[in-house]
Amino acid sequence: MSRTAAIIGGGVIGGGWAARFALNGWHVRVYDPDPEAKRKIGEVMGNARRSLPGLTDVALPAEGKVSFHAAIAEAVAGAEWIQESVPERLEVKHATFAEVQADCAERAVIGSSTSGFKPSELQQGAARPGQIMVAHPFNPVYLLPLVELVPGDAGEAALVEQAKTTLSSLGMYPLHLKKEIDAHVADRFLEAVWREALWLVKDGIATTEEIDNAIRYGFGIRWAQMGLFETYRVAGGEAGMKHFMAQFGPALKWPWTKLMDVPEFTDELVDLIAGQSDAQSGAYSIRELERIRDNNLVTMMRGLKAQDWGAGALLNAQESEMRAGTALGARAAELPADQPVLTARRTVPLDWTDYNGHMTESRYLNAFADATDRFMEIIGSDAEYISSGGSYFTAETHIRHLDEVHAGAVIKITTQVILGEGKKMHLFHEMREGERLLATGEHFLLHVSLETRKPSAPSPEIEAALVRFAAGHAALGRPEGAGRAIGGPR
């Protein structure tokens, strides 16, 4: 059963929230009096569709319906999550919350995207103060997982836990702040860097492009995967954080930065910064820059995913939840043996395509190898079994590329066992988008002792599971293309 979220305010942030919910299977109701709201959110949704589904190796749920409403009451009725993203004016937010609470469910979470107001300020005069909490995301909301969740002293514990559970199910990371403070946490760091950057430009020390390069070629990459304190802990060497603080702590007394001062925003300074920014990035439209940004974020986050680290660990946890209770999470005894086994259902990510605009050759093997790994898990050759000293090694592979596959395609792979006995396992994979056959992968594997690195018999349990599928799949007949050599039949 689909769940419903209401988005109040459909700008860049509101549109990002709409995309995050809808692409995770929620129905989304949008209220925004801007006559261009439908177009703007449609463009954000388009960017999200091409990037978010490719972050995970399990396909996201079917996309929820996005509808637009002329009144707040229509949008919030029956919604279990309501996200306010109206302009940063307290009187506007208060008026919005009053309308929302007049018609929303009492147990719905009302999150505010505010970057500046504390929850105690938002809750002033509210009918149910504990229902309103800060849920401050980062742009693009549909990709970046961080949400600063600040309920304030009036926050209701049960609703806070409900909010954390919901955000986690969307693949996000709720950073629950127990005390409120102006600008929360992350924006305080951003403001400090922003202030110093303004001075560096104003004083002619560096251009906007040089400052951006200092970040993206240096500490920005470290921060992306290790944060601030862990980075400095490593910088302290074997002696760790205490050594780092003893060595570099005195530098904090040196007048290096101007963090307490802000340069006056004169027309000259604004023109200087705007001119340098245009020279740096003006060759691209904003939509092009958004797509470039999304491509880079997906690639970096997938890299972290492979290491099960940082934002990548969140994606792996989300995948585990999505697999649970489906064929992609089942074991051998839970699956019928008289039909091909579903071993993958995923979206093709942006970084899997080549200069021809379709999936590159190596990624077909990548997808089929993942399907083989999944089948090994199904029969019991999982991480625990491999750690005990047994595994399967691939001895031969043959892939047929039958049709094009593009980024964003939802592909599924089914696996048929052609031979399964003793040390031998012969698999035939079929990759499809809908009913369209895209490719086949034929793989012959041998069970190997990881101690001797030579073929060996698998455990009786694994062999029994493999034989069960081989016997059941024999009735399916030999699949078309099996045993084929390059250019023609064997």
Instruction: Tell whether residue 13 is among the known ligand binding residues.
Output: yes
- Strands 390-401 and 410-421, by their bridges, are unpaired
Q: Output the CA angle 371-375-379, nearest 5 degrees.
A: 170
Q: Which of 227, 376, 371 is nearest to 309 (CA)?
A: 227
Tokens encoding 148: 């600063």
Residue 337 CB partners (closer than 8 Å, separation 6+):
468, 469, 471, 472, 473
How far CA 487 is from CA of 400, 401, 402, 418, 481, in Å, comes to 10, 12, 13, 22, 11
What is the C-alpha radius of gyration for the chain, rounded to an integer number of angstroms? Answer: 27
Determine the longest span between alpha carbons in the chain, in angstroms: 79
Cα 279 to Cα 101, 120, 212, 270, 273, distances in angstroms: 47, 43, 13, 14, 10
Query: In this structure, are residues 42 and 17 in contact, taking their beta carbons and an 8 Å threshold?
Result: no
CA distance 464 to 344: 23
Task: Identify residue 301 by its one-letter amino acid code.
Answer: M
Q: Smallest Cα–Cα separation from 439: which of 447, 430, 448?
A: 430
Q: How far apart are CA 286 and CA 41, in angstroms?
A: 15
Q: For residues 385 and 232, what is the distance between their CA atoms, to the nearest angstrom?
A: 38
Is 12 within any annotated ligand binding site? yes
H or E element, residue 416:
strand 410-421
CA nearest neighbour of 159 among 117, 129, 125, 193: 129
11 assigned to a ligand binding site: yes
The DSSP secondary-structure symbol of 215 reads: I
To which residue do tokens 């052609």 refer? 418
User: Are residues 198 and 190 in contact, defined by beta-carbon separation less than 8 angstroms?
Assistant: no
| Token pair of 368 as six digits | 């089929």
Nearest to 112 by CA among 104, 102, 103, 123: 123
Handedness of CA 22, 143, 318, 86 (dihedral sign): negative
Q: Which pair of tokens denotes residue 140? A: 């693009």
Residue 14 known to bind ligand: yes
The beta strands (E) that lie in 158-266 are given as 173-176
Binding site for NAD(+), by residue number, is 9-14
Binding site, by residue number, is 9-14
